[in-house]
Amino acid sequence: MNSNYFVLKNHSLQRFHTFRLDVIASIIILPLTKKGLISALRDYSDRKFIIIGNGSNMIFKQTSYDESTVFIVTTMIDKIQINGDQLYVQAGVTLNKLAWFTCENSIDGYAFCEDIPGTLGGALMMNAGQWQYTIGQYVNWIEVYDYDTKETRIIYPDENFFVYRHSELNNQNVVVLSASLKIKPGDYMEILDKMLEYRRERYVKQPRNFPNGGSSFKRPKDKDGEWLFMWKLFDACDLRGYRVGDAQVSQKHPGFIVNCGNARVADVQLVIAECKKRVKEKFDVDIELEWRVI
């Protein structure tokens, strides 16, 4: 172990993503601090990096990865503090922690984060959100490590930087280290009520009894540009409950593919392919994965 990070060799990635596939990685690095993350990025700069936050928006297409790929898990880089009129949040802080920290400090706006199981870094990449709220709305600046220069720099996003479930960060060769978020004073009890209400609503709708990676597909639009409901398309195609091995289109909410036990990479790929095929055949609509496939 380098004093700034742990290295796991030939270890399963199962506990580092929410879908829980048993995939073996030759090298997994767990930085203890932001400095440790930067050291690891420099020490292994000849390899391909895959950064994992909470792994709640990713699945894998291989059953193993050799030493040419280095996985870095950011969840231990989790400092959060109030700096004057701004919130300083490191990349590995979970959105749940962000929501509770802001509630405890009577800061409004972050209740929507409470039940989204990602980290700040992953959320900024995906512009995570729900209803009218997205994390991008709250950003002052983002501190990143730039793979090209091997240095850190600050990004000040303009109004086009964040769009629906996507950010300009994906077009820059960078790793998110930390960010400054906006502070707006709020009422503790109102924020608490909102968080509990949102969580209840989500638990009622979503499958929580099996590991999953959240919504599997992006919501498509029809030929007239109207948004379609994934669950309606899937029900019309008789996909609810469709299963290969232990990978299954959720019985509770067909927008989710779940891991009923020991789903294998190939099972998930077959379920995804069947969903795409049936929706295309019946509705002539191409559906696109929301998940990042590694």
Ligand X SMILES: Cc1cc2nc3c(=O)[nH]c(=O)nc-3n(C[C@H](O)[C@H](O)[C@H](O)COP(=O)(O)OP(=O)(O)OC[C@H]3O[C@@H](n4cnc5c(N)ncnc54)[C@H](O)[C@@H]3O)c2cc1C
Site residues for ligand X per CB under 6 A: 18, 50-58, 74, 91, 116-119, 121-123, 125-126, 128-130, 175-176, 206, 212-214, 292
Q: How far apart are CA 125 and CA 168, in angstroms?
A: 8
User: Is 250 annotated in the active site?
Assistant: no
Please confirm, yes or no, whether 215 is among the known catalytic residues. Answer: yes
| Rounded least distance, CB 75 to ligand X, Å | 8
Q: Which residue's CB is nearer to ligand X, number 186 or number 214?
A: 214
Nearest approach, Cβ of residue 239 and ligand X (Å): 19
> Do the beta carbons of residue 207 and residue 252 sit within 8 Å?
yes
Tokens 């709640």 belong to residue: 56
The DSSP line for 44-110 is TTTSEEEEESS-TTEE-SSSEEEEEEEEEE-TT---EEEETTEEEEETT-BHHHHHHHHHHTTB-S-
22 vs 201, beta carbon nearer ligand X: 201
* Token pair in block for residue 50: 């895959």
Tell me which of 26, 47, 290, 292 is the catalytic residue. Answer: 290
Of 47, 165, 202, 240, catalytic: 165
Least Å distance, CB 139 to ligand X, is: 14
For residue 13, give Cα distances in angstroms to 6, 55, 100, 168, 233: 15, 10, 28, 27, 32
Whether 264 is catalytic: no
Judged by CB, which is closer to ligand X: 13, or 278? 13
As a whole number of Å, the CA-based R_g of the chain is 20
What's the closest the beta carbon of residue 130 comes to ligand X, in angstroms? 4
Q: How far is the CB of 289 from ligand X (least distance, A)?
A: 12
Catalytic annotation, pick one of 180, 215, 216, 250: 215
Catalytic site positions? 165, 215, 290
